[in-house]
């Protein structure tokens, strides 16, 4: 997988759902699964399932995603998929045969790197997003999710809640590179997740008046970049005022985006997270209030759209303890990152294993995990799958 989807401009990898690099990885996964005699099928939301044993209602499923953020690292997503394949190999090498069906899943558009809504594949499958809303999502080139899905061989009319797929999963265990410094500080190669912060994405649209950068007097301007800039600072202030709050602006799109042009509109995306729903909402409301003030001073119009939201997830404590015990008492730790396991936690028993990340850096080319720690992750996953399916 190493050479697929390298991003020469940003560094790291850009593997966006249904684009050539991500599709190449999908094909790679199907080949790897079929080489292991796993029965492969793609569901109507573009998630790929590889079954060891007949699908039933008591299956244990593991897996992750193959798409990336723009300029992302090599481990976020692929580590969980590769480790799942390696865990199946390890179990077979021990002549283990699962009593309960076991499957590996690859979820589509986990990062929301192309269509803006994270965990789109698991949200669609579990009914957490209206399929009409999903079909209308657009990528930066203006292509809709419906168009991209059709091009990838799906029937866009059939995306949405998939009770059959959902009913087939009893337990989901996702292995993932840790995104943070929890395990490095604990001196442990592998840990289990306890919770995920509440988090969401909001698009702040500032509308002003496009005009000439030289010919327009300052007093005559309605420049949306000015309140947009104030909003970036407001995000930092608002998050710092809330306990364990985090707010990020990582994406700003001015239209038309010319050096000698006052923008007519500027879209700014806010990612806000905190320990609970109320704190997260409070950050967003504070940013909204400051942004609205700034917009008014510049005679611009502000609109705010919530693009995605997920409340705090506390993983099934019984399963978490069972997994930790099976691994000799590995530590449990919270995370600020969202995952498909967090979406599915609303419907079924889910757990996550984290593999140590020596710098804690993620969503960047520097993301890393030592080979020994990756191997420890595979061994841990195999042990957990053996315990849950045997």
- What tokens appear for 173 in the block? 């265990």
Encoded one letter per residue, x for contact with Zn ion by CB under 5 A and - for no contact, window 131-160 reads ------------------------------
Residue number, 76 or 271, with CB nearest to Zn ion: 76
Query: Residue 78 Cβ, how far from Zn ion at the closest point, in Å?
Result: 9
Query: Residue 29 Cβ, how far from Zn ion at the closest point, in Å?
Result: 15
The length of the chain is 390
Piece in contact with Zn ion (CB under 5 A), picked from 46-54, 71-79, 195-203, 301-309: 71-79
Query: Residue 76 Cβ, how far from Zn ion at the closest point, in Å?
Result: 4
Piece in contact with Zn ion (CB under 5 A), picked from 4-12, 72-80, 150-158, 226-234: 72-80
Residue number, 111 or 223, with CB nearest to Zn ion: 111
Cis peptide preceding 202, ω within 30 of 0: no
Residue number, 18 or 107, with CB nearest to Zn ion: 107
232-268 burial, b if ≥16 CB within 10 A, otherwise e? bebbeebbeebeebbbebeebebeeeeeeebbbbbbb
77 scored as a contact of Zn ion (CB under 5 A): yes
Query: Residue 317 Cβ, how far from Zn ion at the closest point, in Å?
Result: 23
195 close to 207: Cβ distance less than 8 angstroms: no
Strand partners, 213: none
Q: Cα(291)–Cα(279) distance, rounded to whole angstroms?
A: 18
Residue nearest Zn ion (C-beta atom)? 76
Residue number, 118 or 208, with CB nearest to Zn ion: 118
342 scored as a contact of Zn ion (CB under 5 A): no
Q: Cα(73)–Cα(185) distance, rounded to whole angstroms?
A: 21
76 scored as a contact of Zn ion (CB under 5 A): yes
Residue number, 76 or 267, with CB nearest to Zn ion: 76
Query: Residue 231 Cβ, how far from Zn ion at the closest point, in Å?
Result: 27
Residue number, 51 or 107, with CB nearest to Zn ion: 107
7 close to 70: Cβ distance less than 8 angstroms: yes
Helix residue ranges, H only, the chain: 20-35, 78-93, 120-126, 131-136, 145-151, 163-167, 182-186, 225-240, 277-297, 317-326, 340-344, 371-389
109 scored as a contact of Zn ion (CB under 5 A): no
269 close to 250: Cβ distance less than 8 angstroms: yes
Alpha carbon distances (Å) from 111 to 114, 122, 217, 355: 8, 11, 42, 19
CB neighbourhood size of 20 (10 A):
11
Piece in contact with Zn ion (CB under 5 A), picked from 75-83, 93-101, 260-268, 309-317: 75-83
Query: Residue 177 Cβ, how far from Zn ion at the closest point, in Å?
Result: 8
Strand partners, 6: 13
330 close to 376: Cβ distance less than 8 angstroms: no
Query: Residue 68 Cβ, how far from Zn ion at the closest point, in Å?
Result: 8
Piece in contact with Zn ion (CB under 5 A), picked from 73-81, 84-92, 162-170, 286-294: 73-81
178 scored as a contact of Zn ion (CB under 5 A): no
208 close to 264: Cβ distance less than 8 angstroms: yes
Q: Which residues contact 278 (CB under 8 A, 6 or more apart)?
A: none
Q: Cα(88)–Cα(206) distance, rounded to whole angstroms?
A: 51
Residue number, 25 or 91, with CB nearest to Zn ion: 25
Residue number, 76 or 109, with CB nearest to Zn ion: 76
Query: Residue 278 Cβ, how far from Zn ion at the closest point, in Å?
Result: 26
Piece in contact with Zn ion (CB under 5 A), picked from 34-42, 77-85, 315-323, 376-384: 77-85
Site size with Zn ion, rule: CB under 5 A:
2
224 scored as a contact of Zn ion (CB under 5 A): no
Strand partners, 350: 172
Residue number, 32 or 76, with CB nearest to Zn ion: 76
| Chain positions contacting Zn ion, by CB under 5 A | 76-77
């Amino acid at each position: 997988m190493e050479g697929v989807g390298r991003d020469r401009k940003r560094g790291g990898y850009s593997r966006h759902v249904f684009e050539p690099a991500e599709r190449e990885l999908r094909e790679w996964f199907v080949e790897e699964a079929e080489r292991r005699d796993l029965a492969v099928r793609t569901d109507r939301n573009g998630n790929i399932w590889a079954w060891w044993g007949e699908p039933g209602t008591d299956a244990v499923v593991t897996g992750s995603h193959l798409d990336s953020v723009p300029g992302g690292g090599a481990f976020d997503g692929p580590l969980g998929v590769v480790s799942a394949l390696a865990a199946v190999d390890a179990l077979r090498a021990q002549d283990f045969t699962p009593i309960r069906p076991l499957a590996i899943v690859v979820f589509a558009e986990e990062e929301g790197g192309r269509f803006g809504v994270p965990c789109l594949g698991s949200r669609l499958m579990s009914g957490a997003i209206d399929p009409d809303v999903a079909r209308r999502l657009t990528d930066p080139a203006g292509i809709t999710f419906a168009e991209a899905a059709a091009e990838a061989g799906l029937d866009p009319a059939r995306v949405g809640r998939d009770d059959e797929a959902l009913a087939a999963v009893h337990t989901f265990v996702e292995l993932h590179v840790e995104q943070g410094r929890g395990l490095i500080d604990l001196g442990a190669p592998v840990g289990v997740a306890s919770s995920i912060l509440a988090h969401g994405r909001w698009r702040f649209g500032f509308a002003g008046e496009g005009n000439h950068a030289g010919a327009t007097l300052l007093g005559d301007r309605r420049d949306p970049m000015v309140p947009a800039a104030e909003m970036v600072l407001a995000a930092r202030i608002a998050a710092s005022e809330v306990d364990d709050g985090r707010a990020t602006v990582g994406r700003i799109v001015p239209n038309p985006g010319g050096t000698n042009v006052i923008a007519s509109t500027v879209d700014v995306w806010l990612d806000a997270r905190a320990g609970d729903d109320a704190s997260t909402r409070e950050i967003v409301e504070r940013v909204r209030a400051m942004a609205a003030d700034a917009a008014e001073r510049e005679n611009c119009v502000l609109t705010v759209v919530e693009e995605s939201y997920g409340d705090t997830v506390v993983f099934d404590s019984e399963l978490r303890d069972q997994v930790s015990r099976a691994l000799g008492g590995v530590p449990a730790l919270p995370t600020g990152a969202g995952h498909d396991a967090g979406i599915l936690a609303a419907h079924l028993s889910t757990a996550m294993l984290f593999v140590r990340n020596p710098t804690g850096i993620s969503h960047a080319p520097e993301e890393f995990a030592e080979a020994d720690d990756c191997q420890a992750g595979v061994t841990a996953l195999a042990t957990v799958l053996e315990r849950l399916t045997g």
